[in-house]
Structure 1
Amino acid sequence: MDWDKLRIFHAVAAAGSLTHAGDVLHLSQSAVSRQIRALEESLGATLFHRHARGLILTEQGELLFDATAAMAKRLDTAAARIRDSEEEVFGELRVTTTVGFGTLWLAPRLTKFYEQYPDLNIDLMLEERVLDLPMREADVAIRMKEPSQADLIRKRLMSVHMRLYASPGYVERVGVPEKVEDLGNYRLISQNVTATQAGAGAQLIQNLWAYDIPSRLMVNNYFGVLQAVLNDLGIGVLPKYLVDEFPQLIRVLPEVESTEIPVFLAYPEELRQSRRIAAFRDFVQDEIMAHRRKLRDTGLYD
């Protein structure tokens, strides 16, 4: 099968348009169309349905696109490994983690990382959805639970707990609950139990809701929960690693916390020898150790 035609087919299928694919490939629309027709003739199958709004893959086209997508991922992996020299760290590193961890813990520390590796470009993808590392949607992930995907190297970084926190302004205005049964008199800010999050966090929230709390604010990530707490809206369910950066927040009901939530760094087995991955992994581990030392020195580590 002609590799060049497959490359053009993949671009058309990804773009859904001959014109857009031509722009990406720097080919004319007619040249792209000829290559697609030639590929269809060689396979004896129609790969696209044509209509006014663009192109839609046929069943046979879907099968071929799955194959070319897998090929593209493998080629990306090979190119990444080739780019990793024995002496230098450069190229692109795609990192995925949650909005809260990435925004408040990781991003502020990247200044130091770029000072060490100025030729490395990071694509930081912050979302609660778990990206598919084996299919190379990202190179490395930091997640609040052990990844279940196969063919991954996993490194446990630390453990965190979900706790209750409020701002000084909110406490001054409405006071603090003395026991968990008093939460019905306060506004609770949390993620929804159906949102993508660590199971231990969802269990804690579900347990708190059982106390008939009429006033709630639900946000789909912990960064939003934190912002609401900082702005005096109520008592928030937050992971301790976020609150470490905001020591003015007051812990409410110290006896209430989730079970242990493990934090893992993971990356595909095929990137085991990647110097970009190793540099990032070592940097994150060093920063976690430095953060722990800082908390111990200030008496905030527990």
Structure 2
Amino acid sequence: MDWDKLRIFHAVADAGSLTAAGDTLHLSQSAVSRQIRSLEESLNTTLFHRHARGLILTEQGELLFDATKSMNKRLEAASARIRDSEEEVFGELKVTTTIGFGSLWLAPRLVKFYEKFPDLKIDLMLEERVLDLPMREADVAIRMKEPSQADLIRKRLMSVHMRLYASRDYLSDKPPVESIEDLRNLRLVCQNPGSTQVTASASLTHHLLSYDLRSLLTVNNYFGVLQAVNNHLGVGILPDYVVEDFPELVRVLPEIESAEVPVFLAYPEELRQSKRIGAFRDFVQEEIIAHRRKLRDALAGQV
């Protein structure tokens, strides 16, 4: 199969028109059309339905487009690996992690990373969906469980527990909270039990909701829970890593916490030698060491 024709087919399928694809490829519309016709003849099939508003892939065209998308992502991975300098960190780095960890822990620390590598372009993708690293949906991921995809290099970074926190202002006019039953007199702020979250957090949430609470506020991510707690709306279920950056929060019922949540950094085996990945990996590990040190110092200061 002619690679050049496949490249032109991919551009047409992606753009949805011969003209737009021609502009991208710097080819005339007639040249693009000839290549598509030639490819259809070689495959003895029709790849596009033609109509006044553009082109629509046939079932056979969809199959071929899926294949060219995979090829294109592999080529991008190879290109990125080739472009990585032996001495410099440059280019684009696509990082994916959860909304909570990305907005509450990672994003505030990236200023230090940019100070070291100002020429790097970071695309930070915060979502609960697990992106496909081998297919280059992202270059590197920080996940709240060990990745199961094959061909990934993975490193355990830290462990997280979900705990109860509230602002001092919220607790100031409330009776002392000495047992889990006392939460019935307060407002619980937590992720909606039906929203995507780690299993340990969901288990703790379900356990606390079984106590017939008087008032409840549910949010679909931890950033929203934190905002509510900071604005004195109630006792929130939050990951323990927020304590360092929000020292005004007070832990409620220290004996209550979720099971351990492991945090892993992962990236494709083919990017093992990438300077961009190495720089980001080392930065995250250094920040976690500093994070642990601050927490130890804070605990020592309370003794």
- Between the two proteins, what is the percent identity of the paired residues? 76
TM-score by length of 1: 0.93
Does the residue aligned with 2:49 lie in a helix, a strand or coil?
Answer: strand
Report 1:272-283 matches (<5 A): 272-283=272-283
Q: Does 1:84 align with 2:84?
A: yes
Q: Which structure 1 residue ranges, 5 or more long, are not aligned?
A: none
In 1, Cα distance between equivalents of 2:17 and 2:172: 59
Look up the match of 1:288: 288
Tell me if structure 2 keeps the 8 A contact 1:128–1:221.
no
Equivalent in the alignment of 1:170: 170
| Number of equivalences | 302
Are the structure 2 counterparts of residues 208 and 83 from structure 1 closer, same or farther at C-alpha, using a change threshold of 3 Å?
same
Q: Distance in 2 between matches of 1:253 and 1:53?
A: 62
Q: For 1:33 and 1:220, locate their aligned partners in 2 and report how far apart those are by CA, in whole Å.
A: 48
Match of 1:180 in 2: 180
Which residue number corresponds to residue 149 of structure 2? Answer: 149
Question: Aligned in 2, Cα 1:301/1:139: closer, same or farther, shift over 3 Å?
Answer: farther
Amino acid aligned to 2:132: D
Q: Distance in 2 between matches of 1:53 and 1:212?
A: 57
Q: Does 1:116 align with 2:116?
A: yes
Moved more, 180-189 or 247-256: 180-189
Change in 2 beyond 3 A, CA 1:163/1:127:
same
- 2 CA distance for matches of 1:19 and 1:301? 67
Equivalence for 2:44:
44
Is the 8 Å Cα contact of residues 101 and 242 (structure 1) preserved in structure 2? no
- Output the CA distance in 1 between the equivalents of 2:176 and 2:71: 58
> 2:17, 2:183 → 1: CA distance?
56
User: 3-state DSSP class of the match of 1:256?
Assistant: coil
CA distance in 2, matches of 1:290, 1:145: 22
Structure 1, residues 168-189: CA drift from partner, whole Å, max 9, x if none?
2221244453321232322221
Structure 2 SS opposite 1:254: coil
Letter in 2 for 1:249: L
Q: CA deviation at 1:31?
A: 3.8
Instruction: Identify if the C-alpha distance between structure 1 residues 154 and 86 changes in structure 2 by more than 3 Å, giving closer, same or farther.
Output: same
Asked if the contact 1:159–1:262 (Cα under 8 Å) also holds between the matched residues in 2, the reply is yes
RMSD: 2.0
Which residue is 1:255 aligned to? 255
- In the other structure, the counterpart of 1:70 is 70
State the Cα distance separating 1:94 from its structure 2 match: 0.6
Indicate if the aligned counterparts of 1:292 and 1:301 stay in contact, CA closer than 8 A: no
Shift of 1:148: 1.6
Tell me the equivalent position of 2:126. 126
SS in 2 for 1:157: strand
SS of the residue aligned with 1:255? coil
Cα 1:59/1:251, change in 2 over 3 Å: same
Greater Cα offset, 199-208 or 215-224: 215-224
Does residue 1:102 correspond to 2:141, yes or no? no
- Do the aligned residues in 2 keep the contact of 1:85 with 1:275 (CA within 8 Å)? yes
The 1-side partners of 2:39 and 2:50 are apart by 16
1:30 and 1:182 map into 2 onto residues whose CA distance is 75
SS in 1 for 2:21: helix
CA distance change for structure 1 residues 86 and 211 in 2, over 3 Å: closer, same or farther?
A: same
